[in-house]
Structure 1
């Protein structure tokens, strides 16, 4: 098994090799997110063909996400113990074959079981990806590597509905042919990972008697605060994505077209901003200061949209700026977690902390919907701002704990 280079040495300084690794991992991450959203566009077709309600249809996506979130941390332990590459190959193959097999499903309940199986495969992606990137990519490009990882995942989310819609509506393919096609796309990705596996490095094993390991790591104050940081950030982001249009309508009677453009501007800014954050993370060490400044800017902009009747043409501009600020803060956040993770523990750390993202998405919709239902839409965006403020407090506590821990072992890395 290929091990990562010792601490203090650059694991890989060749740009072409780094970008090959980033491309391999990013393509698998793209498929992971693509598969999670490729089922929802088929709900109207399945409702007619299988005679089930939309609530039951929603179980396919809900179970896939829930299984992914629940298994990420256990899989992270396995990744740290046995190496990331076999799990990455196996997980990607399980996802691809599960989606492909849905094309042969005789009824919806088989699809539901395959959705659970796909979630099992998907649970591997975050712990394995971050373990490989953290061990294989040189420090000069780790920010851009994490940024591309996030960007390709967001791209998968964005393209899945469009691709399935184009196949079933524009190209006239049946839903079975469409799922078989997109599912089989994972096979060459798995083949490429296998063929290029020599450049994917596993983590160095932690030394006995060194930093805490196992559950000690995850239950430390530092990691719990990073988990809360991710959870609260996700809650705020889902609140905006799910309810910005309805909130602007209820608050200011914003036309639907303007509100839709405003949301699109926010999502575009959040997606593109990730790349800005990656560029910054590779060139500067003040990661926490950067995250704090951008999150504070986003808080101010959300409060402006929620408390001040802005002109319609200005709303998309403000939303674009808020989205870009939050997106740019995400990659330095991930680099902070990497620096805080003890040697050889990156799989479980990222598996645990990133499970806060789907959990935040599950928590947010009901309370925010109740605000709108009970005639207090003015609370929505201030609550988003409050969640972001709380996330910053958690990030500051986590960073302080990481710095204290590093001083007691080895010299602390840059923020």
Structure 2
């Protein structure tokens, strides 16, 4: 297990948690803000759906591909410095879009820069929290809270922009949201030491505990198993969400009902990230995965056979199971890699899960074209069940396993 570090003594760990959770909420909110803006940009610039897809891909593609380089930069310059710089870059991108009257080319470039800035958040904030709470088994619960904060941002920031455009232009509203990110970037730099998380700082902390520093890429079989489970879990989530509206429509749901259904899933998912982080700390990763992935598969398999009302009642519980696994998995990363490798390990883990989430709708979409949405969603559930034997193989690698 990663060494216990003196971070909580020199820096209040609640401050680390507050900074990391706020950063997660902001960056996840920035990522989902694009969904609100796509119809606006289509009207403003006369864009096709393909062009809108490119804009979305520019942000998410940069964010997914640059997480490992962000971890490498953190080892040299410090996680806090890179996190603050990335937050400033992401916020500045939205300010540029909002206040400059940007055309399509500038919009595309700004989104690419914004995604690059958001690439810093997941691996670096996760590593900071795992070091701050690496005692008495509190890491998983802490990372579960951090994971939950991202969902709050996904709900709050797009909703804030939707409210702002009722009293301001979309550009001015977006500029204000970007300004909030600039303030957060300054707060990150002021509240935490700039070199925190650098190679020199981490090495000194590890040596203070009598351990040998380990660098480079994580090579343990346990971490690879964890990553594979995360990839399947993320693919299950996105595959299910891709087919859910079509299944509900076959059950007689209208547009408003589909919107309500998605809200129920997301609300349950946000609760699941918080609850399962705590649950995995108490009953272990294996038991948590058995409950969440087993519950996810059972719920997905039952959904096509239920009437619409029963489906809507099931969706919050299904959302809880669907998203809850991620907190148990993220919380296990620090237990499977040495302290000096944590930024890189989180970078690899998030790259894998985000990449899986991007590819899953394409792969499952082809399956859906071949067999129809009802059969395709059943296949999603069966693939989800493959995580259970993988979790059983992973369990011996986890310290304090149950």
TM-score tier, shorter chain, comes to 0.7 to 0.9
Question: What are the superposed Cα offsets for residues 5-45 of structure 1, whole Å, 9 maximum, x if unpaired?
Answer: x924675389x933332111111111111111223322333
Q: Which consecutive residues of structure 1, in runs of 5 or more, have no partner in the other structure?
A: 1-5, 404-411
1:213 aligns with 2:215: yes
Q: Which residue of 2 aligns with 1:333?
A: 329
Deviates more, 1:75-84 or 1:198-207: 198-207
Structure 2 CA distance, aligned partners of 1:149 and 1:117? Answer: 24
Deviation at 1:188, TM superposition (A): 1.7
Deviation at 1:101, TM superposition (A): 1.0
Structure 1 residues 392-407: aligned runs within 5 Å: 392-400=388-396, 402-403=397-398
Partner-residue secondary structure (3-state), 2:308: coil
Deviation at 1:285, TM superposition (A): 5.2
Judged with a 3 Å threshold, the aligned counterparts in structure 2 of structure 1 residues 360 and 150 are, in CA distance, closer, same or farther, namely: same
Q: Which residue of 1 aligns with 2:60?
A: 65
The one of 86, 94, 97 aligned to 2:89: 94
Structure 1 CA distance, aligned partners of 2:125 and 2:241? Answer: 26
Judged with a 3 Å threshold, the aligned counterparts in structure 2 of structure 1 residues 56 and 262 are, in CA distance, closer, same or farther, namely: closer
Q: Which residue of 2 aligns with 1:156?
A: 153
Q: Which residue of 1 aligns with 2:185?
A: 190
Deviation at 1:265, TM superposition (A): 2.0
Deviation at 1:357, TM superposition (A): 2.4
The one of 176, 179, 183 aligned to 2:174: 179
Structure 2 CA distance, aligned partners of 1:353 and 1:229? Answer: 10
Q: Which residue of 2 aligns with 1:115?
A: 111
Structure 2 CA distance, aligned partners of 1:200 and 1:44? Answer: 41
Q: Which residue of 1 aligns with 2:47?
A: 52
Q: Which residue of 1 aligns with 2:132?
A: 136
Q: Which residue of 2 aligns with 1:280?
A: 279
Judged with a 3 Å threshold, the aligned counterparts in structure 2 of structure 1 residues 38 and 297 are, in CA distance, closer, same or farther, namely: closer
Structure 1 CA distance, aligned partners of 2:111 and 2:390? Answer: 34
Q: Which residue of 2 aligns with 1:290?
A: 288
Superposed CA RMSD in Å reads: 2.8
The one of 353, 357, 370 aligned to 1:357: 353
Structure 1 CA distance, aligned partners of 2:6 and 2:376? Answer: 46
Q: Which residue of 2 aligns with 1:42?
A: 37
1:76 aligns with 2:58: no
Question: What are the superposed Cα offsets for residues 153-178 of structure 1, whole Å, 9 maximum, x if unpaired?
Answer: 1122223332222222x21x122212
1:261 aligns with 2:260: yes
Deviates more, 1:126-135 or 1:199-208: 199-208
Deviation at 1:375, TM superposition (A): 5.2
Native 8 Å contact 1:12 1:138 kept in 2: no
Deviation at 1:48, TM superposition (A): 3.2
Structure 2 CA distance, aligned partners of 1:373 and 1:262? Answer: 23
Q: Which consecutive residues of structure 2, in runs of 5 or more, have no partner in the other structure?
A: none
Equivalent pairs, count: 392
Structure 2 CA distance, aligned partners of 1:328 and 1:192? Answer: 30
Native 8 Å contact 2:235 2:356 kept in 1: yes
Q: Which residue of 1 aligns with 2:303?
A: 305
Structure 2 CA distance, aligned partners of 1:96 and 1:256? Answer: 33
TM-score, reference length from structure 1: 0.85
Structure 2 CA distance, aligned partners of 1:30 and 1:78? Answer: 22
Q: Which residue of 2 aligns with 1:389?
A: 385
Deviation at 1:274, TM superposition (A): 1.4
1:344 aligns with 2:344: no
Deviation at 1:124, TM superposition (A): 0.8
Native 8 Å contact 1:277 1:329 kept in 2: yes
Question: What are the superposed Cα offsets for residues 251-294 of structure 1, whole Å, 9 maximum, x if unpaired?
Answer: x4455555443333222111111111233244x25222222222
Deviation at 1:399, TM superposition (A): 4.1
Native 8 Å contact 2:71 2:123 kept in 1: yes
Native 8 Å contact 1:151 1:274 kept in 2: yes
Native 8 Å contact 1:240 1:384 kept in 2: yes
